[in-house]
Structure 1
Amino acid sequence: MDNHTYAVVDLETTGHSPLKGDRIIQIAIVFIKNGSIIKKYSSFVNPLRDIPVFIQHLTSISDNEVHSAPTFEEIARDVSEMLQDTIFVAHNTDFDLSFLQSEFKRCQVQKWIGKQIDTVELSKILFPSSSSYRLQDLAEEFGIALPAAHRADDDAEATAHLLLIALSKLKTLPEETLNLLHRRSFSLRSDISTLIYDALKVVRKQAGKKEYQLFRGIPYRSPKLPEGKASTRCQYPKDDNDKVRLLKKGYELFEYRQSQLRFMDTVWSTLRNDSETIVEVPTGIGKTVSYLLPAAIHSVETGKPVVISTFTNHLVDKIMEDEVERIQNILDINCTATVMKGKEQYIALGKFEELLRITDESYDETFSIMQILVWLTETTTGDVSELNVSGGGQLFIDRIRKRTNHMATDEKMADYHQKMMQACQYSDLIITNHSMLLSDSFREQKVFDQISGLIIDEAHQFPQIAARFNETVLSYMNWKYVMGQLGSDAEGQLLHQIMKMHSKFSSYGNYVFKHMMNSYESFTLAFDEVAGKLASLHDKDSKKQLGNRIIFSLDDTNGDDKLFKKMVDSMNVYIEDIERISDQLQVHKPVMSDNEIAFMEEWAYWSRELKIKAGEWIEVFLEKEQDRFTVWIEKDKRSLPGSLHIVKSPIDPSTVIQEFVSVMKNENVGIVWTSGTMTINEDERFVAKQLGVEENTPLVVFGAPAHFYDKAGIFIVDDMPAIQQVSQHEYIEAVADAVVQTVIATGGRLFVLFTSQDMLRKTYELIVDSELLDDYALIAQGVSSGSRMKLLKSFRQFDKSVLFGTNSFWEGVDVPGEALSAVIIVRLPFTSPDEMVFKARASKLTEQGANPFTELALPEAILRFRQGFGRLIRSSEDRGFFIILDKRIETKSYGERFLKALPEVPIKKLSLEHMVNELENCYNE
């Protein structure tokens, strides 16, 4: 490994296509040998053409800088000679090497020949949990200096240091892991097999102590269980001075907030008295630490854990990473905490090992396996969400998620999910998500058993999770994928392998397969008949369409029950056939090879998946339960039938929540429901009613600290058109103009929040086409690739950025400090009246003689509106403006209720021009 000379190359160019006249404007090469940088080469290059403005902004390389530089023709031979007998390295060799080879050819210089290493590919394998594989992100993660990204000299040196870190890491991996990696490395796109083989030779000579466990030959790092709950006793602080003294230990810049101390007391009192309380806690008082501190003390005092539940796994991890250590420091005790998620979040080591034995792998599968092999030497949780895999790799991850608690003895010993459950027994705090909390209450073997308290954060989201908990979703593509796993008899496919095994071991002949192929054909024909019928319904009905999406109720398929039943009958015959084949092969399992057993288990796995789907089909199509559930079909007319989804969702999820609460109360567990938005004016128990919480349950509302919103302002733009009076295109043009002017006035760092994905996309595209914000990073949910957290990270990375968001960006997103200067509300966040669950709930309210608008639509919109405002000010030092473009805020009688729901912040109604002037004056101070 150390004997090779690596040439780490980076190019800056005028564009991506040398064949269309793009040229190199800077080249840098860093040479590495024996683990050290031995030489550097860097030169600007005159492209003999203008550098595009975008490239000048990206690279900070101007036409003046390259004017007196040599052309590539003048240096091509020197560069070629320098690269001879080296291993070519680049962060994306597909670009740098291909561009360079094309330029060598143009300059009539011999092409480079040799091995190549792509550090993107290498980094994905060796750092499988990194959130991003862009060079600047990896440089930040590993503390590599990168003064100016997109300058060839700085990028090449950063890539060289990244390579050195990767080479060092390879030598730390277990020999067994390297062997498993090496076996698959020949399928990679660059010559990483050379590096792995060199590392193997080094590791084989080392005789160190093994830090890893082995599961059927696969090294993994076993989770370290807590040694026991905190043994040191601690008392809840008696007065405010004691509370302040403790909090100062955790916060260097602690600010005294009376409401924070009273919230702590409320949590403490609820837990101690095994009672139930609803608490609204505003942004900025330190909510999380304020419930964790009394929770930790109560747990230590009772010897039983307190469970903390929040909305998403991301928030779960954030509490664990950011706050638990702080609590330990504040209380000066070894307070143990465990994150507990649903079993499907954890790897099934047995399933993973079984798939390793099946040698027929795609590139994505091979790559994901290599990432997982490295990750298993690092993870202490087994939580597969730690992995950053490609889209194709995600399908492989889904196959190795834990599905069952029925495991072989050796798998039980190694199982991460089991270890986490054991850890819960020895923990003072258990941190989980709402979905896991709800599902656990209906299990026979409970994880959250024998607890001393429960704190439900982001409690306003609990009804949504309870609805999802009882929701069933059928996806056409998912059905076809499962059917294809069992039904394709092409060479190398699972059915082909099973047929070969059946021929080898069974004496029943091919009759059973002929029967199965006939039943499979009947089954697929029945399925396709249903899919075709659903795909054709309402294709020309504009009332059912939202852009390209079409949504309609299952009730619109009147008379199709026979068709749904026919599908079930044909599916049951097919399932009987595949089970018959399984039974016939099962008796020969003792004499099968490992590979054959793996195919058997894979066949059994997909058989179980199909049976689960059969149950879901009956539940959705044949058990309608109209009084409790609503069922609808969604499709996109651009991709039929592939886009078909059928959803069955509960109308009122509070029943599920009430069952859950009654279990907790029977076990004498104190429950705190808390959130920043638990009330709305004129109906302060709106969320409490959605939760099904009893009317006499105390509800406590705390105010924000004094002067917390001093640097905030609310602007209502009063010369925007009314959307009901103009075309959608005219309205979008007005929104785009307002966004552009606001962005230029503030210098960016804006959220633009929509209620419609269609309007978001059209506004974004109009702004991009106008080129008026070409200097800004424009990030749009549903348009830009990546998850919500990835989009948010991109937003934070750029000083001049704008994020266009809908739905999930209205809440649960923290951007403290100057990273966010304004939030623009395009439309008041009413739920679409065509949204199917809303429609069903509204219909039920009408039947009861209630007004669906005032009882449901308006309160929900006000809650979301408050959440949108909550994105803006996260600390008393934050400055920002809440800008409302929807005229209904002043023209409709309910507009005042929206404004009253916000904190007392100065409100100005003014034209777009005057607002822009005010913003410019503010940001020019």
Structure 2
Amino acid sequence: MSTSKYAVVDLETTGHSPLNGDRIIQIAIVFIENNKITDTYMRYVHPQRPIPPFIHQLTSIGDEELKDAAPFEKIAEEVADLLTGCIFVAHNTDFDVSFLQKELVRCGMAKWHGKTIDTVELAKIMYPTLPGYRLQDIAESLNISLKQAHRADDDAEATALFLLKAIEKIKTLPKETLNRMHERSFAMKSDVSTLFYEALKHVRGKDTSSDYALFRGIPYLQSKPTTTSWPQPIEFPVDNMAKERVMQKIHPSYHVRESQAHLMDLTWQAFVEKKQIAVEIPTGVGKTIGYLVPALIRAYETKQPVVISTYTNHLVDTLAEEVQKLEKALQMTIPTTVVKGMANYISVGKFEELLHFNDEVYDDSITIMQLLVWLTETTTGDLDEVNVSGGGQLFIDRIRKRSMRVKKDERVADFYTHTLKNCQQSMVILTNHSMLVNDQQRYDPLFHSISGLVIDEAHQMNQAAIRTHQQVFSYTKWKYVMSQLNGLASCQLLFDIQDILKRFHFNHKTSTERLQYSFNEFMLAFDESMLILANSNSTNDNKSTTRTVKPLSKRLRTNEIFDKVLRKMNEYISVTENYAMPIQNLSNELTLHEQAALSEWFYWINEMKIKAGEWIELFLEQPNRSTTIWMEKDSRSLPGSLQIKKSPVNGSEVIRNFIDTFEGETGIVWTSGTLTAGQQDRFVLDQAGLPSSVPLYTFEAPANFYEGAHTLIVEDMPDIQQVSNDEYIEAVADALIQTAVAIEGRVFALFLSHDMLKKTYQTVLDSESLQEEYMLIAQGVSSGSRHKLLKTFKQQKKAVLFGTTSFWEGVDVPGEQLTAVVIVRLPFTSPEEPLFKARSEALVAEHKNAFTHLGLPEAILRFRQGFGRLIRSTDEQGFFIILDRRIDTKSYGQSFLQALPKSLVKKVSLEGLVNEIENCYNE
């Protein structure tokens, strides 16, 4: 039993800096001994200054509540005495310990000294798959009571309950896992090592690995093969009454929706008749269930799986959650396999090798600890499950599975191979578009002998096919690869190989000199080529941005320096291979650390070979008419920002190649909420290369679904084509401020340009109009992924999110969490965007108008997707606010409005916009 006493502390303060006058307003301490809460302490504290409005809103603690509270000077000694001899626990000890230390010193007392445990750090280690590590996130995910967040007493209690839960979980880990984690725990920022030491004492002498398989001493949860026991075939519900009986198992109060019933019939018919159809289904119809039910019945009937593909891995995971809900509702097992690209899965062999290196930084160590825990839990090996830091992502990238070839002992622990085998026994296979279009390139295609294929988010298939076959040169990624095998005295890996050569008495001095000379020659050529690229196209037509996107000219591509780089690179690869050749056949005589170093050496040589192949394709092969190549760079960070991209002009040929394999063999349903673009109703299907014989069905949303949607055109905005960029940004910022105040936050502002987004965000910030009460979240400015930014937005009562392309679609913010979507500019693609330019030129060569056949329909699709963020159910109300006057002044403007679902459209002044919003709320 632990003899440690823990003091779990939480502070609420007026701000982050006691040196600038911020003070504690509430302190709470929860004491834990012998794995039980034994006592609590809470005091309100008078800050002797007003409570800032944001803090009052966050904590619900106001001046009235604190009027009789004592200042911290009166309780400082009491607090210090309580903490004496305790391990200080807090959710982010950097803040609580630091703030408390400064306050104690200010009161004339000594700093507190002792061990600390940061529960943020502990949560990351012990619960590596949590979506977030704020205390609210942890409490919600682990069913821990948190009555009111940002109240010290409630936060301290929730933190204490989490600590107890984490301690119990640590004790359940296999002894082998605990040993490895204890070794690395001393590299953590807080004293979590004490917890692992206590757990090791607890499990000493016990067999804790019986539930796990071992791979080279690493416990992992061995995935069990999927087995399918096919029941008697289920009949498809032909009439509406039968459909209602099935659907009421999923939704007890369900009544037949004609559109959804029709979708089920169309999907079933396509599967049975083995034909292709396309279906546009708006929000509110119940698209996913509408195709899942007939798909499942078809799989049961034929005893062959159905494949459902969507655009991103995140959407694939969302689909998997829908299937799980369906399983529960129908009270049946639906064997389902999620399959993603190979690199999404862990190579357990590579992971084990890297554990033998002793050059870990903090991010490496905490990521390794997360992975050790995760391996005892995961049944998939999908690295998307693990929530790691940005620095940890570099380590994750090193352990991704890169090849089907594995060592003999690794086969049993190869999650990707198990996933592929499970597909053969599944009823439902969920995948992404990239995996789908690449399937025919596999030696043994995965998606064969299937009973049906659903392509959801079908409007993204062309883009997915293009990106799958796109090649990218990134200066920073190349430099990272070179830094791993740089042939210089600073290379730790080189030291390791030299030590092995010395141990076996190989004379390596001459070969080391040759290695370093070859590396320097390669780097001189490479740096010269980067300088040429950085200085090319140095004139920027758009003076308002530092970013340049230009086609890579033929003159530049024929520069002999690119041949020289390849030659020097191949020479260096040859020298590195020869350098370690003397010890390559001595693996049986090498220590585990030496084996790992040798494996790592040849791993990076292989990466260099891959880079050499990329160099040939990007710089030495001449692009044909079906491909285009361009350069992207930012003048503020050269050569670091350099990227060269080579891409197919469109993906229709790639799509046709994989579709041809299914022709006449299985039914295919193409579906999306946005397949039509105004008068060009087959725009998406034409882009994907589908023949006109594929029928297109379009559905309308349920009656009154968009009754709460208000489309407002602000007619006194400046004309974007008549004023400077800065003047337009000032007007946009003003409109956003007034909209946010009228709605009290919950606003998406959708941009096309990162540059305009950042400048608008800064203008709003500088105005200080929203600073006190509103959370401003800007993509590319605020830290975090799209998913993290979206989660932050949802958690705030008053927030404005500034987003670009990725926020125009695939984002679901239900109910009152989102009240307004502001369209800053009509979403036309820039004519200078390389892919768009190449596609436009191809249309002109066919004597077609690039604007009407490409630019306008693309923009209308994106516009519809932006509108789709707003209303997700019949009882929602929202405002779709358009700031770009071209929708009213240009002839094509009506095409945008006509493409929207039927909703109220009004032209208003900026002042009228605020009045209209207030009137809607008062109705």
TM-score band by shorter chain is over 0.9
**Structure 1 position 164 matched with structure 2 position 164:** yes
* Matching residue of 2:794: 796
CA distance in 2, matches of 1:830, 1:433: 27
- 1:853 corresponds to which of 848, 851, 861: 851
**Is this contact kept in 2: 1:459–1:673, CA < 8 A?**
yes
Task: State the Cα deviation string for residues 535-577 of structure 1 (Å, max 9, x = none).
Answer: 11233x1316661111211116537431111111111111111
SS in 2 for 1:558: helix
1:367 counterpart = 2:338? no
Is residue 2:678 matched to residue 1:681?
A: yes
Structure 1 residues 364, 885: CA separation in 2 closer, same or farther (over 3 Å shift)?
Answer: same
Distance, in Å, in 2 between the alignment partners of 1:253 and 1:746 is 33
- Counterparts of 1:251-266 in structure 2 under 5 Å? 251-266=251-266
Give runs of aligned pairs for residues 186-585 of structure 1, distance below 5 A: 186-204=186-204, 206-207=206-207, 210-321=210-321, 323-329=322-328, 331-490=330-489, 493-505=492-504, 507=506, 509-539=508-538, 541-543=539-541, 547-555=545-553, 557-558=555-556, 560-585=558-583
Q: Is the Cα contact below 8 Å between 1:246 and 1:330 reproduced in 2?
A: no
User: Counterpart in 2 of 1:98?
Assistant: 98
CA–CA separation in structure 1 for the residues paired with 2:704 and 2:101: 62
* Offset from partner CA, 1:26-75 (integer Å, 9 cap, x none): 21111011222111111122233334343333333333433432222222
The reply to whether residue 897 of structure 1 matches residue 900 of structure 2 is no
Of 699, 708, 717, the match for 2:705: 708
TM-score (norm 2): 0.97
> Structure 1 residue 654 and structure 2 residue 647: aligned?
no
- Cα distance change on mapping 1:868 and 1:688 into 2, 3 Å: same
| Equivalent in the alignment of 2:715 | 718
1:506 positional shift? 5.8
Distance 1:14 1:910, change over 3 A: closer
Q: CA deviation at 1:318?
A: 0.7
Question: Structure 1: where are the runs of 5+ without partners?
Answer: none
**TM superposition shift of 1:588:** 1.9
Q: Choose 351-360 or 208-217, whichever is displaced more.
A: 208-217
Change in CA separation of 1:611 and 1:327 when aligned onto 2, cut-off 3 Å: same
- Cα distance in 1 for partners of 2:402, 2:19 equals 51
Partner residue of 1:592? Answer: 590
Query: Aligned partner of 2:107: which letter?
Result: C
**Residue 76 of structure 1 pairs with residue 82 of structure 2:** no
Residues 244 and 256 in structure 2, CA contact (< 8 A), matched pair in contact too: yes
Cα distance change of structure 1 residues 96 and 333 upon mapping to structure 2, 3 Å threshold: closer
Flag the 1:343–1:436 CA change in 2: closer, same or farther, 3 A. Answer: same
Deviations, residues 505-562 of structure 1 (Å, cap 9, x unaligned): 36454322222211111110111001111111233x1316661111211116537431
Letter in 1 for 2:493: L
Rounded Cα–Cα distance in structure 1 between residues aligned with 2:327 and 2:572: 57
Are the aligned partners of 1:230 and 1:333 in contact in 2 as well (CA < 8 Å)?
no
Letter in 2 for 1:867: Q
Cα contact 2:209–2:219 (8 A) shared by 1: no
Matched residues in 2 for 1:52 and 1:875: separation?
A: 37
Output the amino acid matched with 1:271.
F
The DSSP-based 3-state class of the residue aligned with 1:550 is strand
Q: Distance in 2 between matches of 1:660 and 1:840?
A: 24
**CA 1:6–1:492 in 2, change beyond 3 Å: closer, same or farther?**
farther
Secondary structure, in 3 states, of the residue corresponding to 1:665? coil
Contact 2:457–2:672 (CA under 8 A) maintained in structure 1: yes
Post-superposition offset of 1:924: 2.7
Change over 3 Å in CA distance of 1:330–1:50 after alignment to 2: closer
Q: How many residues are aligned here?
A: 922
Amino acid of the structure 2 residue aligned with 1:188: M
- Rounded Cα–Cα distance in structure 1 between residues aligned with 2:543 and 2:105: 54
CA–CA distance in 2 between the matches of 1:659 and 1:193?
56
Who is 2:868 aligned against?
Answer: 870
Identify which of 696, 699, 709 aligns with 1:699: 696
8 A contact 1:8–1:160 mirrored in 2 = yes
The whole-number CA distance in structure 2 between the counterparts of 1:43 and 1:560 is 74
Q: Secondary structure at the match of 1:341?
A: coil
Tell me if structure 2 keeps the 8 A contact 1:229–1:300.
Answer: no
Give the partner amino acid of 2:800: V
Whether the 8 Å contact between 1:268 and 1:298 is mirrored in structure 2 is yes
Conservation of the 8 A alpha-carbon contact between 1:538 and 1:544: no
Asked whether the 8 Å contact 2:544–2:725 carries over to 1, the reply is: no
Q: Is the 8 A contact 1:276 1:670 kept in 2?
A: yes
CA separation in 1, counterparts of 2:598 and 2:879? 61
Deviation by residue 1:129-177 (Cα, 9 ceiling, x = unmatched): 1111111211222222223322222221111111111111111111111
Letter in 1 for 2:653: T
The SS at the match of 1:39 is strand
Quick one: structure 1 residues 797 and 230, their matched pair in 2 at CA, closer, same or farther if it must change by over 3 Å?
Answer: farther
Aligned-pair CA distance for 1:255: 4.6
Determine the C-alpha separation between the residues in 1 that align with 2:549 and 2:287: 40
Moved more, 633-642 or 500-509: 500-509
Shift of 1:480: 0.7
Cα RMSD of the aligned pairs, angstroms, is 1.7
Letter in 2 for 1:43: R
What residue is the counterpart of 2:754 in the other structure?
Answer: 757
Secondary structure of the residue that 1:497 maps to in structure 2?
helix
Give the Cα separation in 2 of the matches to 1:544 and 1:46. Answer: 54
Deviation at 1:447, TM superposition (A): 2.0
Rate the CA distance shift 1:556–1:103 in 2: closer, same or farther, 3 A: farther
What pairs up with 1:40-79 in 2 under 5 angstroms? 40-79=40-79
Letter matched to residue 257 of structure 1: R
Q: Which amino acid aligns with 1:24?
A: I
After superposition, give the CA deviation of every residue in 1:605-662 in whole Å (9 maximum; x if it has no partner). Answer: 1111110010001000111224121111111111111111111111121111111111
Q: Equivalent pairs: percent with the same residue?
A: 54
1:770 to 767, 770, 776: 767
SS at 1:664's partner residue? coil
Letter in 1 for 2:85: D
Corresponding position of 1:154 = 154
1:814 matched residue in structure 2: 812
Q: Which amino acid aligns with 1:54?
A: F
1:219-260 C-alpha deviation (Å, 9 max, x unpaired): 111223222143242111121111122112101443531011
Residue of structure 2 in register with 1:120 after alignment: 120
Would the aligned equivalents of 1:229 and 1:335 in 2 still touch at CA under 8 Å? Answer: no
- Name the CA shift for 1:229/1:455 in 2 (closer, same or farther; >3 Å): farther
CA–CA distance in structure 1, aligned partners of residues 554 and 883 of structure 2: 37
